[in-house]
Amino acid sequence: MPRSIPAQHHNAPIDDLEHGGPAAFTRVPPQDLDAEQSVLGSLMLSGARTSAAYRFFAEILDTGITAEDYYRPAHQTIHRAICQVHEAGDQVDPITVAAKLAERGELARVGDRAYLHACVQAVPTPSNGQHYAGIVRAKAYRRAVIEAAQRILEYAYSDAGDEDEVRDLVEQQLTEIIAGTPGLHQAPPTVGDLYLGFVAETEAIQEGRKLGLTYGFEDLDTLTSGMQPGNVTVVAAQSGVGKSTFALNAAVAAAKTGARVMFSSLEMSSTELMQKIAAAEGKIALHHLTHQGGLTTEGWETIQRLGPELFQTLPLRVYRPDGASLGDIASAARACARDDGLDLLVVDYLQLVEVAQSRHITREQAVASVSRGLKNLSVQLGCHVIALSQLNDDGLMRESRAIKNDASIVIKVERPDLDEPESARAGEVDLVVEKNRFGPTACVTVGAQLHYSRFVDMAQT
């Protein structure tokens, strides 16, 4: 992530920045002080809970307006006082608001009682308060856009960071602006504020209405409650066991439910991924797709059928970056989120992702940085991440401590018949859930149909 940006020049105009030096901001930022006065006056006119106009008070606050949306600091202070009086259960009017401001030692600073009455007198009717609040918020949004642009300019003119960090900053600022959330304007909610939402979520979970994205395996979904947004599943296995197959199966299963998925492969080409999907969904032997003359007429008919029935309707994007940097993957994921949303991101695999390194950073620290970056990305975009990880010859996850810390679920893929072809468990794969933040750990056994490049529930074998 880019380092923090110096704030001292945020008001410097572009012309001054181009000449290499800061200057006072010469243009007045977007604002409408009359509208700000009218919002405050409307709130104080309609704040009596027993009055017929009280519904206008609620409508104004329902616009989402906050103290930070006002341009004039005195108006921010008055808005906070109004909200404090209201939250205390008292009637909101110029007298009670003035008392609250006096209690906090802020009354003289906002223009005394006379200014509160001036705000009230500026309003013809509180029924227009919602409209005034919309004007104030629109101006605040424009100021946020200007501030974001100035931050980008300053960082671009400075020598701080490398190309990836500059791009990351630009994308982060633009994503926040497009989403209409330029920053955190309020203190985080208390547990009391969260309680009703918690009860609703719990009720949905208990009634089976709140399940995460499916992995495509019934027992695994039951054990983990599916893939939840803002969380990471690490899938670890030795080379050749089938971790990429598992991840691709899960990606397709989630996409079939309508989830928007991006599969980022640093190992396989786009063609290889398409071959694996076709093999799994069409029950075509994978080697028939990859060898000259391998496809029968029936196989070609299946591929043609999969076009309109699957590939053209599946919300699954395949990203094969030219490089292998975390910044490239994050950039593509943000583009997906801006386009039509992103519910699941798959990264194949962790140890191949590159981060900016110096001689002072170890490989373990580099992988830890990637792991932490993917976790942060899952939270920022509200998606689930499946991150594949390579196991060494001893069955241990490389750089395991950091990877496990960031994961909500860790699944180790094991094939009992890998070293014993005559094993009684031939064709079985164990999905060993070693960490499960949403329930117990356990081992889920599925069937391996690797000639079709897929795993299936044991009931389907």
CATH of residue 388? 3.40.50.300
Structural domain total, the chain: 2
Q: Is 188 part of a structural domain of the chain? A: no
- What is the pLDDT, as a whole number, of residue 4? 38
| pLDDT score, position 43 | 94
Tell me the DSSP string of 316-344: EEEE--SS-BHHHHHHHHHHHHHHT--SE
Q: Which residues of the chain have pLDDT under 50?
A: 1-25, 182-185, 358
My answer on whether 272 and 126 are in the same domain is: no
Domain-located, residue 198: no
Do 122 and 236 reside in the same domain of the chain? Answer: no
Q: Is 200 inside any structural domain? A: no
Cis check: omega of the bond before 195, within 30 degrees of 0: no
Q: What is the DSSP string of 388-407?
A: EEEB-TTS-BTTHHHHHHH-
Q: Which domain holds residue 331?
A: 212-460
Tell me, yes or no, whether 337 and 378 share the same domain.
yes
219 and 316 in one domain?
yes
The pLDDT value recorded for residue 239 is 82
Q: Residues 150-193: pLDDT tens digits?
A: 888 888 888 776 777 777 778 777 777 766 654 444 566 788 88
Which of the listed residues 182, 204, 238 is the one where a domain comes to its end? 182
CATH number, domain of 3, equals 1.10.860.10
Statement to judge: residues 243 and 111 lie in one domain:
no
The two three-digit tokens of residue 357, written as one number: 């390194």
**How much is the pTM?**
0.61
137 assigned to some structural domain:
yes
Q: What is the pLDDT of residue 330?
A: 83
- Residues 217 and 176 both lie in one domain: no
The tally of CA atoms less than 13 A away on the side-chain side of residue 76 is 11
261 and 363 both lie in a single domain: yes
| Residues 158, 2 contacting (CB under 8 angstroms) | no
Cα–Cα distance list, 216 to 213, 253, 347, 359, 377 (Å): 9, 5, 18, 42, 23
Helices 73-87 and 112-121 sit at what angle, rounded to 10 degrees? 80
Sign of CA dihedral 59, 61, 64, 68: positive
Residue 451: C-alpha distances to residues 253, 282, 292, 454 (Å): 19, 12, 17, 8
Check whether residue 282 and residue 156 sit in a common domain: no
pLDDT of residue 21: 42
Residue 228 and residue 119 share a domain = no
83 part of a folded domain: yes
Please report the pLDDT score of residue 22 as a whole number. 43
Nearest to residue 213, comparing CAs of 201, 225, 199? Answer: 225
Do 158 and 217 lie in a common domain? no
pLDDT at residue 2, as a whole number:
39
In-domain check, residue 383? yes
Query: Do residue 148 and residue 274 come from a single domain?
Result: no
Mean residue pLDDT of the chain comes to 82
